[in-house]
A and B are shown apart, each in its own frame.
Chain A
């Protein structure tokens, strides 16, 4: 006995699935997805934004990247420890020796050296960086990627709008926004999106039967327990079915990239994540977030920071070069963010501890003025000296560069008003327009 049977007939899977999505879930595929599916509110928001169609790639350094050992060295100070400073392409600006490739393309970067945040706890600070709001008990705020979808819609009908690469559980995702803006997580860039191949025995027709049967049996339960949790799963079933039926899956497969390009990004999980991000954006994904963890160096920082920073340097410079070569840098905003900085003072375990008072972030690409530096930290790298930027200012600057309606108020289900970027002020000095 076997539970499966191959019908032998090969109808186009895509056709079947498109019909199926309508049959099984009572929605029209074409009507529901993409721009046409946007709420009236979002459509209105779109009308007030510039017509630029920008994608965003966020590189999230988890664990708190040391500013002294990357983009804000203090050569000659005891605090600098073993990390040396090197020249960059921008006159008068030095980076650490661990990011030489990015130093060589500093003319494309805007570096913020007086970022400051509210908390020295990883989870809360990362949440703030991702959402522009302080974590509270009752609601989850949307992350930047989900805001971009809410305001501008998906760019591709077949692909998801927002993808996370290598992220853990704590990502706030779509928060209180509609579940259709939920990011699709990819655990490992080498493996891409897994379990997308239907077994050989499972014909399209059989798959369709299965889904339709599940839907009909489930109706009573769903009616009795209507609410956001069930609705979110319904949405994911729709999205998964649609993804399997489309031709977009190839975008998740980095094995199709040439070897030479792989070397440019670096043979690391992060480098591959950056390459996958470019591939996805090229195929029509609006926002991709790539996580690089392991920056929480309380011990022996000078033994570990070189390797970590090199992964970042190779991955990010490879990405910027590739985007530039393809002419995509004008329409792609690249963001390097971290939750806070690390203490200038080296502790008794030869590490650096949490330091929310000042840290560095970097922007490049669409809407950004390259070769600029905004804000300075004091001589020790301990506090902002000049032009301090709050997280909300940083995120509002991103919103401006990405063409998002950051002055508009959006209402959460509890009636409270929220703004994309958290109501900060865009930093004009590093914006191209």
Chain B
């Protein structure tokens, strides 16, 4: 079944000390709601247009309760238990984090001095708050979170960073990040049920598994998806052993050897022979577990009108990764002089050597150990550069998967330092990110950088970026839903329980029964109907982007704003198009914000008794995470006083702020 976590976000505002804590947006709004409950009826009477005569101002206020919200009840429900338990940070390493951040700043300062670069001014607390939420939690702060942080006198940036790195939002955001790189989809092929692997990725982030351990697991795993979900990485390229090698090297070693699959690389050093030598490590990987589904499939064709999906279900239970050393031969049309067509190749790594301890292991294990070894500096360099880009908007090497002699790092001493750092941290990615966001370099006002200018980027600040599709979606959901986690993607165990049958032993009848149970929970259409019923609003599912099906259809909000189809590595984009604007104008997700019962609706409602200035502040804080300037306040007041009703004015203001560049760009 769909994991259905009702309620949960007991947000522990850890950056607060002492008495202030544990008053998150949810509880505070609920309190606010009950406080103003007696006023609601009166306010409604004043604000609802097209009111009946009996409800006009001055006449008797209506006694009825306000109409029900059109938003799904699950997203309005009070959370009752934690969304997930995220691995805790070591508070004791704070001094080292600060020191490490300073070391990075010193390298940059020396570089700027040499290149005559003036760094960008430092961020205000408000700007820092919004950016760090988007970069670590993948969404804007809620009104309450913004108010809590900005409350004087102590605006503790370090505590805020730590709070975010331990939040479910961090897990969600970095899941989206890896989903784009690893091409995470629910069904990459008809016989592959991939939810266990997707959950495994999410869970590896939740437990903050060291990166080298994680990658080693994925490169060496064997078995069925429900036994060992890490096999998903291998199965993503099932049946394509050479592209598998190409993709693996590209993602984890930042190197493109794909051209050498067919011929010597035209402008890099890689030869076709080298490609085959590397591929020889994994060529003995099999994706069929040696079990046969033939008899059950035959019976299914005889007994069932539409046996196809049942047979695919059986095949899923016969798809497991196994490995046996097997010689690899060059292609029959191999055209170079260094070897003959169809010759057996001896495995060789691209550089360095297989670690001594693994030299007698099977070849696939040798390959995995070589990739993640501390001695394989390119592995560390690649992830250091990737995460630097994640935080600073641009890699020191661009593209991040095309390291080569002709493409040097923008600041090579910095890249080597970052490589040392990730090695020192034993591939603790979260601690590494903690250091990066603690630098002055990160905490500067974003600058516009156009790669087409031909001028190298020297990191005077992070590069200005548009929100990713997921950041935009999750930010709007923050304005709508009290519980953005009403549905979560299923766990490995849940899928295993529903999908696992022993195809060698099971009878036809029980296999069919198991399939029917599985289909009820995970079958196409049926799963979507469950979701629509629980969290659907005008066809949209109001949950975190990380928990939505993948890939989404082309017309979905997330795809419109550039989420990848997850067929090509890092296929997401942030290019502007007209349909995006139409969606911001008129799309269901914009409407959901303006619905009765949404977070922002309630927050506005609660502030009405304190006058229009307070409402204006609430709207600005909710959308832009800052109070209005004097002139903006004047504009907003004008808008509200001249609108047909004050409420229409507030609606216009919310809509207007959503449709600013300031909203969708991360400054």
The answer on a CB contact under 8 Å between B578 and A168 is: no
What is the CA–CA distance of A5 and B49 in the complex, to the nearest angstrom? 6
Complex: A233 Cα to B663 Cα, angstroms: 12
Beta-carbon contact of A221 and B667 below 8 Å: yes
A412 to B453, CA, bound (A): 9
Q: In chain B between 554 and 583, which residues have their CB closer than 8 angstroms to a CB of chain A?
A: 554-555, 559-560, 562, 564-565, 567-568, 571-583
Sample of 20 further A-B pairs with CB below 8 A, known A5-B643, A210-B656:
A2-B647, A4-B594, A4-B651, A6-B49, A138-B452, A169-B572, A182-B578, A185-B560, A188-B554, A207-B585, A209-B639, A210-B652, A210-B659, A222-B661, A226-B448, A227-B464, A229-B574, A237-B581, A243-B582, A414-B452
The smallest C-beta distance from B185 to any residue of chain A, in angstroms, reads: 13
B576 with A196: CB separation less than 8 A: no
A268: CB under 8 A from chain B?
no
A255 on the B face (CB < 8 A): no
One digit per residue, 1 when the CB lies within 8 angstroms of any chain B CB and 0 when it does not, for chain A 331-359 equals 00000000000000000010000101000
Closest to B562 in A: A169
Q: Is B581 a contact of A221 with CB atoms below 8 Å?
A: no
* A196-B582 CB under 8 A given contacts A187-B559, A233-B664: yes
State whether the Cβ of B339 lies closer than 8 Å to any Cβ in chain A.
no
Q: Tell me the complex Cα distance, A236–B402, Å.
A: 32
Query: Does B63 sit within 8 A of A, measured CB to CB?
Result: no
Contact of A197 among B446, B586, B657 (CB under 8 A): B586
Q: A-contacting residues of B (Cβ < 8 Å)?
A: 43-44, 47-50, 239-240, 258-259, 261-262, 398-399, 402, 407, 445-446, 448, 450-454, 464, 466, 553-555, 559-560, 562, 564-565, 567-568, 571-583, 585-587, 591, 594, 596, 601, 605, 629, 632, 635-636, 639, 643-645, 647-648, 650-657, 659-662, 664-665, 667
* In the assembled complex, A120 has its CB within 8 A of some CB on chain B: yes
Contacting residues, chain B, for A198 (C-beta < 8 A): 585-586
10 cross-chain CB contacts under 8 A: A2-B596, A199-B586, A209-B643, A214-B660, A218-B661, A224-B667, A225-B448, A225-B661, A228-B448, A233-B576
User: Which of A1, A121, A187, A237 gathers the greatest number of chain B CB atoms within 10 Å?
Assistant: A1
Report the Cα distance A188→B446, complex, angstroms. 37
Q: Which residue from chain A places its CB closest to the CB of B246 in the assembled complex?
A: A121
Residues of A within 8 A of B452 (CB): 138-140, 176, 228, 412-414
Closest to A237 in B: B581
Whether A193 touches B661, Cβ cut-off 8 Å, given contacts A121-B258, A169-B562, A169-B573, is: no
Q: Which residue of the partner chain A has the closest CB to B588?
A: A195
Contact across chains for B647 and A3 when beta carbons are under 8 A apart? yes
Bound Cα distance A217, B656 (Å): 8
* Cβ distance B342 to chain A, nearest Cβ, rounded Å: 14
Contacts of B448 in A (CB 8 A): 225-230
The answer to whether A170 has its CB under 8 Å from any CB of chain B is: yes
Q: Which of A179, A199, A236 contacts B581 (CB 8 A)?
A: A236
* Chain B CB within 10 Å, residue with most, of A227, A229, A356, A412: A229
Given contacts A7-B644, A121-B258, contact A170 B451 (CB under 8 A): no
Distance (whole angstroms) from the CB of B17 to the closest CB of chain A: 33
Query: Would you list which residues of chain A between 265 and 315 have a CB under 8 Å from chain B?
Result: 298-299
A210 and B655 contacting across the interface, CB-CB below 8 Å: yes
Asked whether any CB of chain B lies closer than 8 Å to the CB of A405, the reply is: no
Contacts of A139 in B (CB 8 A): 451-452
Say whether A1 contacts B562, CB under 8 Å.
no
- Docked pose: A342 CA to B600 CA in angstroms: 55
A: number of interface residues (CB 8 Å) = 78
Contacts of B450 in A (CB 8 A): 227-228, 413
Given contacts A225-B667, A413-B452, contact A169 B564 (CB under 8 A): yes
Closest chain-A Cβ to B49's Cβ sits at a distance in Å of 5
CB distance from A263 to the nearest CB of B (A): 25
- Does A194 sit within 8 A of B, measured CB to CB? yes
A299–B239 touching, CB < 8 Å: yes
Q: Is A260 an interface residue (CB 8 A)?
A: no
A residues neighboring B (CB under 8 Å): 1-7, 119-123, 137-140, 160, 166, 168-170, 173, 176, 179, 182-188, 191, 193-199, 206-207, 209-211, 213-214, 216-218, 220-222, 224-230, 232-237, 239-240, 243-244, 298-299, 349, 354, 356, 412-415
Q: Is the CB of A193 within 8 A of B579?
A: yes
Whole-angstrom distance between the alpha carbons of A213 and B645 in the complex?
16
Return A412 CB to nearest CB of chain B, in Å. Answer: 7
Tell me, in angstroms, the Cα distance from A217 to B636 when the chains sit together. 9
**A240 x B581 contact (CB < 8 A):** yes
Q: Are B239 and A349 in contact (CB under 8 A)?
A: yes
* Interchain CB contact under 8 A, B576 and A169: no
Which B residues lie within 8 Å of A229 (CB)?
448, 464, 466, 574, 576, 665
Question: B656 near A213 (CB under 8 angstroms)?
Answer: yes
Picked from B262, B466, B554, B601, the residue with its CB within 8 Å of the CB of A168 is B554
Bound complex: CA A191 to CA B587 (Å): 14
A191 to B579, CA, bound (A): 12
Whether B660 pairs with A218 at a CB distance below 8 angstroms is yes
Does B660 contact A415, Cβ atoms closer than 8 Å?
A: no
CA distance A7 to B50 in the complex (A): 10
Among candidates A160, A185, A221, residue contacting B661 with C-beta atoms closer than 8 Å:
A221
> For residue A349, which residues in chain B have a CB less than 8 angstroms away from its CB?
239
Nearest first, the 9 A-B pairs at minimum CB distance are A3-B651, A187-B555, A227-B448, A240-B581, A187-B554, A5-B648, A214-B656, A221-B662, A1-B47
Contact A138 B451 (CB under 8 A): yes
B651 neighbours in A (Cβ, 8 Å)? 2-4
Asked if B579 and A195 sit within 8 Å, CB to CB, the answer is yes
- Verify B407–A199 contact, CB threshold 8 A: no
Assess A4 versus B648: contact at CB under 8 Å? Given A210-B656, A221-B660, A298-B240: yes
Q: Of B48, B560, B585, which contacts A2 at CB under 8 A?
A: B48
Contact B656 A184, beta carbon cutoff 8 Å: no
Residues of A close to B645: CB separation below 8 A: 5
Q: Least Cβ distance of A121 to chain B in Å? A: 6
A426 to B515, CA, bound (A): 58
Q: Which residues of B contact A3 (CB under 8 A)?
A: 594, 601, 647-648, 650-652, 654-655
Docked pose: A413 CA to B450 CA in angstroms: 10
Task: Determine the residue in chain A with the shortest Cβ distance to B589.
Answer: A195
Bound CA span A65–B10, Å: 53
Query: In whole angstroms, what is the CA distance A233 to B258 when docked?
Result: 35
In the bound complex, how far is the Cα of B44 from the Cα of A198, in angstroms?
Answer: 24
A236 contacts B586, CB within 8 Å?
no
In the complex the two chains form, what is the Cα distance from A183 to B577 in whole Å?
Answer: 7
Bound: A195/B50 CA distance, A: 26
The docked-state distance in angstroms from the alpha carbon of A195 to that of B583 is 6
Q: How far is the CB of A355 from chain B (nearest CB, A)?
A: 10
The smallest beta-carbon distance between A229 and chain B, in angstroms, is 6
Given contacts A137-B398, A176-B452, A209-B643, contact A216 B635 (CB under 8 A): yes
Question: Are B650 and A235 in touch, CB under 8 angstroms?
Answer: no
Whether the Cβ atoms of B652 and A209 lie closer than 8 Å is yes
The 8 Å CB contact of A415, one of B48, B454, B553, B636, is: B454
> Separation in Å of the A179 CB from the closest CB of chain B?
7
The answer, among A138, A213, A228, for a CB contact under 8 Å with B639, is A213
CA distance A299 to B648 in the complex (A): 58
CA distance A420 to B117 in the complex (A): 38
Taking the closest CB of chain A, its distance from the CB of B469, in whole angstroms, is 10
How far is it, in angstroms, between the C-alpha of A188 and the C-alpha of B559 when the chains are bound? 12
Chain B residue numbers with a CB within 8 Å of A233 are 466, 576, 661, 664
Q: Across the interface, do A160 and B665 meet the contact criterion of CB distance under 8 Å?
A: no
Report the separation of the CA atoms of residues A116 and B536 in the bound assembly, to the nearest whole angstrom. 49
Check B661 against A191 for contact (C-beta < 8 Å): no
Cα separation A168 to B564 with both chains bound (whole Å): 8
Contact B665 A217 (CB under 8 A): no
Q: CB within 8 A of A211: which of B564, B580, B659?
A: B659
Q: Which residues of A contact B555 (CB under 8 A)?
A: 187-188, 191, 194
Closest CB of chain A to B595's CB: distance in Å? Answer: 9
B661 & A230 in contact (Cβ 8 Å cutoff): yes
Contact present for A120 and B594 (CB under 8 Å): no
Which residue, B571, B594, B660, has most C-beta atoms of chain A within 10 A?
A: B660
